[in-house]
Chains A and B, each alone.
Chain A
Amino acid sequence: MKNASLIFKKEIKEILKNRSIWLPILAVSIIFSVIFPAAITFGLEGILKDPDASEFIKRVFAETDNLQLAMLHFIIKQFLVFLLLIPAMLPSLIAPASIVLEKESNTLEPLIATPIKTGELLLGKTLTSLIPSFAITLIDFVLITIIINSIAYTKFKLLPLPTWDWAVVTFILSPVISFIITMICLIVSSKTVDIRSAQGIGAVIIFPIYAVVGLQIAGLFLLNIKYLLVVCIVLIAVCPLVLKLAIKIFDRENILTKWKMK
């Protein structure tokens, strides 16, 4: 664990010195946790004036005639899916960079020649991606809660957040998604040699999450606590499989002989 934490600390230091990695993370975070919630919550009055939109929101997001309540459901459900994007997107930016930076500087061989275990190396790389993702998800969760609650309270005298489904997404689904995306990105990164292509592949990997967001925004699909728990169970079952594959890929011999290097 000590060696994994050494890797984690060094990686974070390097990431913070590399603007091409942390700038997109910051941008994604600000967009999803500040700009979107503020814009949509402020724009509610406009939506309320449109009878078709109001009807749609009432029908899809809350089985009620209370438009105010329906609007709050709308806000909460929409940002719930946006919150899913953060734990998916951040590992797709961090994990490939973590491997590609090693390849660019030819540091993998001297690193694995130390007494470090390959499991510790994998754990260190995983933590580098998981901890910031979870931390930023938590920060975003708090920010969204504050922004939505304060605007909702001002306009409707209600404090709609947090809810159970938000708690499940933040504390169970987000880390699980981050873990799976991290593992897949680490596996895929063994075959790429530059950050852009690695992150490009990462963007493709998180496509299912985009699909969920898109389907919900289009009103074709609505995440609820039941769906979320089922998704959690399925994804938790997937975790050992991706971990097993990543451990295989992170074998010393594989790194030196099968990974694509510069």
Chain B
Amino acid sequence: MIYAENLTKKFGAITAVDNISFEIEKGQIFGFLGPNGAGKTTTIRMLSTLIEPTEGKIKIDGRTPEKDGQYIRSIIGILTETPGMYEKISAYENLNYFSSFYNIEGKTRKENMEKFLKMFELWNRKSDPVSTYSKGMKQKLALARALIHKPKILFLDEPTAALDPESAYMVRNYIEKLKEEDITIFLCTHNLEEASNLSDVVCIIKSKIIKIATLGELQKDRKGKKIEIVLKDSSSKYLDLIKQFKEINDIKTDRNKISLSLENPEKTNPVLIKKLVEAGAELLYFNEIKASLEEIYLELIRS
């Protein structure tokens, strides 16, 4: 659905996006992560035909921006960094205005407006000027605007940034529901838990792509695994034994729990378990603690 090949964008001497390539399948949620200034917004702008890449190729739904920019803009919905609503006119007038640029029949348009305004709990305030709305309400209205024409592709730039926890939960659930409707979602967020829960594929970028993989692959590829051992008795008795393993690091004990990290669990774990049992330890649990996306992200960005 979205294809980018060797995409580069330069602004004068500054390279905002440097030779990135990826492909996003129909119905996938693509988590696009990176620090501020990493080129996320620039990438969204290139993919949504708002700016031209300095180099590289883009295909959206099999079409190129150079030939079919207008078609591409008609099948995408964008939630920009700032909600961007006309403050003097009402929410309903705003939605009506933006949606009128799409080729949607008047009756369907009105039905969609009602549906989304009700869904985002804005229907009762639909006639109020947007200037009277809270930041969260504006964000929900902007999301409604991005969805009003039932896009095939949705670009979401920090969709839950300004929302209260309940609204954020509702929006996240809705994003998951959109996936079921085969809508492809390009999700930019600094909320790594959100990215972790929603994304099928995660792309970490800092001008260049640092890593692109599923969360499972990222966890698998990570150097060093964390292990947690739960014993029946106090863990401190076995601290010296564990310290004998040179390949084991970051050993921490807490009552009957031991956490540690090691490079090659397939090789070390059987030996470690054997030694602990021989020393009289009764093992209740032996778990690999999967690294969170936040941990992986920070490691990759810092490296």
Contacts and interface: CB of A to CB of B under 8 A. Distances in A.
Contacts, number: 74
B73 A115 contact: yes
Contacts of B18: none
B89 A14 contact: yes
B73 A109 contact: no
Contacts of A18: 88
A112 to B, nearest CB: 6
A115 B82 CA distance: 20
18 contacts: A3-B101, A6-B100, A6-B101, A10-B97, A13-B89, A17-B89, A101-B88, A106-B80, A107-B86, A108-B84, A110-B80, A111-B98, A112-B50, A113-B78, A113-B80, A115-B103, A116-B101, A253-B51
B116 to A, nearest CB: 15
Contacts of B142: 110
Given A110-B98, A113-B73, A114-B101, A256 B51 contact: yes
Contact of A107 (B50, B71, B85): B85
Given A10-B97, A114-B102, A117-B70, A109 B84 contact: yes
A73 interface: no
A6 B83 CA distance: 21
Interface of A: 3, 6, 10, 13-14, 17-18, 101, 104-117, 252-253, 256-257
Given A17-B89, A110-B142, A110-B145, A105 B97 contact: no
A256 B16 CA distance: 14
Nearest to B79: A110
B87 interface: yes
Nearest to B82: A106
A115 B50 contact: no
A53 B97 CA distance: 57
Given A10-B89, A110-B142, A253-B51, 14 more contacts: A6-B101, A10-B93, A109-B50, A110-B78, A110-B145, A112-B50, A113-B48, A113-B50, A113-B73, A113-B80, A114-B98, A115-B74, A116-B101, A252-B51
7 nearest CB pairs, A to B: A106-B84, A114-B101, A115-B74, A106-B82, A17-B88, A253-B51, A115-B73
A256 B45 contact: yes
Contacts of B45: 256
Contacts of A13: 89, 93
Contacts of B70: 115, 117
Main secondary structure of the interface of B (DSSP, over half): loop
B86 A10 contact: yes
A105 B86 contact: yes
Interface in B19-53: 45, 48-52
A18 B71 CA distance: 35
A114 B73 contact: yes
Contacts of A107: 84-86
B11 A257 contact: yes
B262 interface: no
Interface in B90-118: 93, 97-98, 100-103
B230 interface: no
A110 B100 CA distance: 13
- Residue among B80, B84, B87, B102 with the most chain A CB within 10 A? B84
Greatest chain A CB density within 10 A among B83, B88, B145 is at B88
B167 to A, nearest CB: 20
Contacts of A252: 49-51
Contacts of A109: 50, 78, 80, 84
A229 B193 CA distance: 70
Contacts of B101: 3, 6, 114-116
A103 B83 CA distance: 12
B88 to A, nearest CB: 4
A106 B73 contact: no
Contacts of A112: 50
Nearest to A120: B101
B76 interface: yes
B73 A14 contact: no
Nearest to A254: B51
A13 B48 CA distance: 29
A253 B97 contact: no
Nearest to A111: B98
A256 B82 contact: no
A156 to B, nearest CB: 49
Contact of A115 (B11, B85, B102): B102
Contacts of B93: 10, 13
Residue from B73, B85, B101, B142 whose CB has the most chain A CB atoms within 10 Å: B101
B131 to A, nearest CB: 9
Nearest to A116: B101
Nearest to A255: B50
Contacts of A108: 84
A256 B50 contact: yes
A255 to B, nearest CB: 8
A172 to B, nearest CB: 34
Contacts of B84: 105-110
Nearest to A262: B82
**Which of A17, A107, A256 has the most chain B CB atoms inside 10 A of its CB?**
A107
